Amino acid sequence: MGEFDLIDRYFKRKATGSAQVVLGVGDDCALLAPAAGQQLAISSDMLVEGRHFMPDADPSGLGHKALAVNLSDLAAMGASPLAFTLALALPPERAADPAWLEAFSSGLLALAGTHGCPLVGGDTTAGPLTLSITVLGLVPPGEALRRSGAQLGDDVWVSGTLGQARLALGALRQEWRLPPDVLHAARQRLERPTPRLALGVALRGVASSAIDVSDGLLGDLQHILQASGVGARIDAQAVLETAATGASGQGAGSIPQDRLLATTLAGGDDYELLFTAAAAQRDKVLRAAATSGTPASRIGHIEAGSALRLQRPDGSELDPRQYLGFDHFA
């Protein structure tokens, strides 16, 4: 199958769900007509076989995840999806595998449909399997959630549950074992992450800064602290409790507490939102969480200085550096 047949067959869909797409896949460029007065938010993420996913990864989940990680960046800015492009390098055995292509494009386009974010262009070439997506979003001027807005005294919040993806990855890499039901739920988080788009939009005008948790809570928090020129004190127990409500909740007894703490503090691939908001905004944060159907937990607060402090329930401190090396490529 040639490049054009492949695009027509698997990736060309009528761009529905957006009057802002004037022309989608099939010409030299796509044509978009963003609503007047909106700012464009643009982000690219690349997934490479062997680096970000295993060669035997489920193709439908791979399609989902490739787009989800990009949509998560829009969520972290409080932007709404507009459209995306896909650059795809395919080895010959994949290009000649209709079942793989069908599953990949179905996973990809199903998530695109869910969020009204049509595929409007891209490129394919022969090469090692590489998925590169550029996503476009819209946000009203001045309302984008940046990393640089955290203020002294702000609360630090995180959405959903943390650490599940890293627990699953560790089990798949045979670093440890998980009970089957715990592994199943955790794998869903690793392979089919949920971009927190509705929460991101609901936090416009409420959060002072935001980032999505792709590399791990502590590492991503450092980005906010550096961009904002502040420090933070994080309650390790509050962070751990976010994990207890997730997949590991049912089987948490079988997972050593120190491992659960490490995966929760530093495990990557969760794609939750980490954000700050003034203490006076607590009710609004909880309302944003409720209206978007995404739980949010308060896990600490912003302090003067530049240090990231991690506190146990008894008030003693843990060294955050021992967790920062525990990332998903360790």
The CA distance from 166 to 187, in Å, is: 9
**How far from 111 is each of 26, 64, 91, 94, 253, CA to CA, in Å?**
21, 6, 24, 22, 34
Q: Please, where are the H alpha helices in the chain?
A: 3-6, 59-77, 92-95, 98-114, 164-172, 180-191, 197-202, 217-228, 236-244, 248-251, 257-266, 282-292, 321-324
Piece in contact with Mg ion (CB under 5 A), picked from 55-63, 116-124, 187-195, 205-213: 205-213
Piece in contact with Mg ion (CB under 5 A), picked from 149-157, 160-168, 211-219, 275-283: 211-219
Which residue from 30, 41, 64, 73 is in contact with Mg ion, where contact means CB under 5 A? 73
Nearer to Mg ion, 10 or 157 (CB): 157
Piece in contact with Mg ion (CB under 5 A), picked from 69-77, 134-142, 234-242, 269-277: 69-77
Which residue from 45, 58, 154, 212 is in contact with Mg ion, where contact means CB under 5 A? 212
To Mg ion, the closest distance from the beta carbon of 10 in angstroms equals 28
Residues near Mg ion (CB under 5 A), total: 2
Nearer to Mg ion, 76 or 109 (CB): 76
To Mg ion, the closest distance from the beta carbon of 260 in angstroms equals 24
Nearer to Mg ion, 73 or 269 (CB): 73
To Mg ion, the closest distance from the beta carbon of 232 in angstroms equals 18
Closest CA to 238 of 186, 326, 313, 155: 313
Residue 80 parent element (H or E): strand 80-90
* DSSP-assigned letters across all residues of 40-78: EEEEEEEEEBTTTB-TT--HHHHHHHHHHHHHHHHHHHT
Residue 90, beta-bridge partner list: 126
Cβ contacts of 226 within 8 Å, gap of 6 or more: 306
Subset of 141-160 contacting Mg ion (CB under 5 A): none
The CA distance from 192 to 58, in Å, is: 10
Nearer to Mg ion, 66 or 171 (CB): 66
3-state secondary structure of 95: helix
To Mg ion, the closest distance from the beta carbon of 169 in angstroms equals 18
- Contact letters for Mg ion, residues 224-253 (x by CB under 5 A): ------------------------------
Nearer to Mg ion, 154 or 270 (CB): 270
Nearer to Mg ion, 73 or 270 (CB): 73
Q: What's the token pair of residue 141?
A: 């001027």
To Mg ion, the closest distance from the beta carbon of 258 in angstroms equals 27
The CA distance from 54 to 191, in Å, is: 11
Nearer to Mg ion, 23 or 42 (CB): 42
Nearer to Mg ion, 73 or 191 (CB): 73
The CA distance from 185 to 313, in Å, is: 28
To Mg ion, the closest distance from the beta carbon of 75 in angstroms equals 9
To Mg ion, the closest distance from the beta carbon of 238 in angstroms equals 22
Piece in contact with Mg ion (CB under 5 A), picked from 9-17, 83-91, 108-116, 212-220: 212-220
Piece in contact with Mg ion (CB under 5 A), picked from 12-20, 65-73, 133-141, 268-276: 65-73
DSSP conformational letter for 281:
G
The residue whose two tokens read 């795809």 is 88
Interface residue list for Mg ion (CB under 5 A): 73, 212
